[in-house]
Amino acid sequence: MGCGLTRRIKLEPSPIHFRLKSKELTITPGTFVKLSHDNKIKEYKEIKHLGSGSFSDVLLCEHIPTKTRRALKVVYKTSLNIYQTDKVCMLKEIQILRILDHPNIIKCFEVFEDERRYYVATEYCSGGDLFGEISQMPIFTEAKVASIVFQLLSALSYCHEKGVIHRDLKPENILVVDKANNLTIKVGDFGSSCIASSESRIKGCFGSSYYLAPEVFGPGYNEKCDIWSAGIIMYIILTGRPPYKGRDSNSIIKEILENPFQLNEENSVGLSDSAYNLLQLLLKLSPSDRITANEAIQHSWITHYRNYKGDSMKLALNSLKKFSNHSKLKEAVNIYLASQIRSYDEIKEIRKNFQMLDKDGNGKITKEELLEEYSKVMEFTQAQKVVDKIISNLDQNSDGNIDYTEFLASCGENLKRVSEENLIIAFRLFDIDGNGVITVDEIKSVLQNGQIVSNNDVWRDLLEEADSNGDGLIDLEEFIKFMRTVKF
């Protein structure tokens, strides 16, 4: 049906159904009431204001302890409605971000609060958002669009398996990390998201009207609303045309209710047959007929453009094979360093290898996927032993798979080569009260919401691994010596 090139794009910002005007905020530690978590706000130095949402502001900040840039979302408690909070008034976005670990989902570093605000610190994506990118780039090839759509669907597959429904997918909420070759994207802004079981039906109209699935105006809907939104995003990028003629929310919603968007030969001129077929499956009017994210990843249009080649794959397999966990504390610190300090550029190749091994694109590496790769370079029985050992060593949350951060820890640089500066940064992250020593309670505070969840005896055992003088504390000298001498 076409040559695989899209048209020139002239796209208006997506009309927002509901938006509250938010005041610009400047971080000045002295202006806030006393924070929980030991005045965490003092660790952030504002660089500039990035934007405002319905109930929040987003600031670009330097995180002083790690010397890295982070996006700090400041959420005003008085602006939240019942859909953003649970029974104990905890922000749902916080709950959701804490359980997500995927290369195409924004990374949450930490969360803290004062009496009036929540603060959510996430990674900063310097490339802006997908809306800005598609507005500036005159032509997208189908190969480039397929790369973007694969990343989006992979993130959705991962979320939906965990019961997370985004509900506000749009180009403005898809952030760009790397513009080289095919764009690297991250799904962000989970402020309207919810957690629901596969059997439950949810209610509430959220998001931008262009991307709203028709069923959100009915008595209830499920995760398939995200699939519709992904289909509309794919359609807009491929054709350069919005799905509806209206320019404001009310007129667009009226069109959705009276004549919801349907793909036809007239509005899809220039698309390849395969792209047209996938769009049809993503944009079925009936949610029960609509394809799932996991099924969409396996569609021929996606698999045709996915690239499994890479010279560094052997290095990743070798790193996984050599990885062991003689020290749980060192392993946890390594994971913490990988997730908190390393930049996108440092982990770019590791991320590619993760997605090459994740053949079904669901955001995790399974035993079967590993076995397929190792069987190419060794006997099957030997491959089974190697894979069983890898899963045993790396699978900290015991789900039988290797998650993204677990993979980063195994394929990162050998800790002997980690600079003393970064080890000092890591030490300070654990030394919460800044008194120069790490206690059992501080190890527990840092790790219990991350990679390790256990009883008090385990926390004490972790401390004793590095406490060479037996005083019940870890000082900086002990910490650096421990990290440089204990081998995986």
Q: What is the CA 292 to chain-centroid distance, rounded?
A: 19
Q: Which is nearest to 190 in space by CA: 108, 297, 133, 113? A: 108
The letter for the amino acid at 458 is V
Let me know if 399 is a catalytic residue: no
Q: What is the pLDDT of residues 388-413, one digit of tens each?
A: 888 887 777 777 888 888 887 776 54
| pLDDT value at 415 more than 50 | no
The per-residue pLDDT for 150 is 95
| pLDDT value at 49 more than 90 | yes
Domain boundaries 29-123, CATH class: alpha beta
Domain segments of the chain as ranges: 29-123, 130-305, 313-466
| pLDDT value at 279 more than 50 | yes
The per-residue pLDDT for 211 is 93
High-pLDDT (> 90) share of the chain, %: 26
The residue with greater pLDDT, 452 or 125, is 125
- Domains 29-123 and 130-305 fall in the same CATH topology: no
CATH architecture of 313-466: Orthogonal Bundle (1.10)
High-pLDDT (> 70) share of the chain, %: 76
Q: Which of 57, 129, 168, 475 is catalytic?
A: 168
Distances (CA, A) of 177 to 182, 364, 380: 11, 20, 38
| pLDDT value at 133 more than 50 | yes
130-305 to CATH, choices 3.10.20.740, 1.10.510.10, 1.10.150.130, 3.30.2130.30: 1.10.510.10
**Mean pLDDT of the 227-255 span:** 90
pLDDT band (50, 70, 90) for residue 34: very low
Binding residue positions for ATP: 73
Find which of 112-116, 306-310, 321-325, 382-386 is predicted with most confidence, using mean pLDDT.
382-386
**Mean pLDDT of the 210-239 span:** 93
The per-residue pLDDT for 266 is 86
